Chains A and B, each alone.
Chain A
Amino acid sequence: AQKITQTQPGMFVQEKEAVTLDCTYDTSDQSYGLFWYKQPSSGEMIFLIYQGSYDEQNATEGRYSLNFQKARKSANLVISASQLGDSAMYFCAMREGSQGAQKLVFGQGTRLTINP
């Protein structure tokens, strides 16, 4: 079974609009972490934001925020005021277990295109 599901293969958004990228996950662990990465066309993987399962508040990093709904097992990435440079692949990933269990499982990604 898929542990991380990203249901949107591609999204097209107008510049300056907000965009939400969906991510649902499947785990029976109580302790886990969720990460979002950006992969531009140049190919590198850039860490964006992290949400721990015990974090009470949604994570925020500049224009990035995470809409974490634990009961629904979703961790959607919200990008506010989108920019042309936000065009890229975005990957959601999950780390299961407590400290020391470092394995990340990635979703298939969403390709975001920002239109001028």
Chain B
Amino acid sequence: DAGVIQSPRHEVTEMGQEVTLRCKPISGHNSLFWYRQTMMRGLELLIYFNNNVPIDDSGMPEDRFSAKMPNASFSTLKIQPSEPRDSAVYFCASSWGQVSNQPQHFGDGTRLSIL
């Protein structure tokens, strides 16, 4: 079975540019999560969706960040304008949210570098 698919795997762009990260969750999963991992702050939850609806976006750093889930098989995380401090690994994860013991399955991440 296909796991969570993220694209691109690596992104290098200049400060001020718009960045769009993409995620395809595991088929049948109804919860989707966006995380950011840095050395300083570890793994932080940015936002999560249940049944395509954003449930908790309290981890989104600021208005420059936005996330959408237009359907059950696709989500985007957008940063506009990007800044060097946004450099991190961004993970998407999905799970079957109705059962409490179900783990979140992670994609391979997008390594983002803002110059």
* A residues at B contact (CB < 8 Å): 31, 33, 35, 37, 43-47, 50, 52, 91, 95, 98-100, 102-109
Contacts and interface: CB of A to CB of B under 8 A. Distances in A.
26 contacts: A31-B100, A35-B103, A37-B106, A43-B89, A43-B109, A44-B106, A44-B109, A45-B106, A45-B109, A47-B104, A47-B106, A50-B101, A52-B101, A95-B100, A99-B97, A99-B99, A99-B100, A100-B97, A100-B98, A102-B31, A102-B48, A102-B50, A103-B56, A104-B33, A104-B104, A107-B42
Given A43-B108, A44-B106, A103-B48, A33 B43 contact: no
Contacts of B100: 31, 33, 52, 95, 98-99
B78 interface: no
Q: Determine which residue in A37, A102, A107 has the highest number of CB atoms from chain B within 10 A of its CB, and name it.
A: A102
A63 B105 CA distance: 20
A100 B104 CA distance: 13
A112 B37 CA distance: 18
Interface residues of B, number: 26
A104 B101 contact: no
B34 interface: no
A98 B21 CA distance: 30
A106 B108 contact: no
A47 B105 contact: yes
A47 B103 contact: yes
Contacts of A43: 89, 108-109, 111
A104 B109 contact: no
A107 B42 CA distance: 8
A45 B42 CA distance: 13
Given A102-B104, A104-B104, 9 more contacts: A44-B109, A46-B106, A47-B105, A50-B101, A100-B50, A100-B97, A102-B55, A103-B56, A106-B42
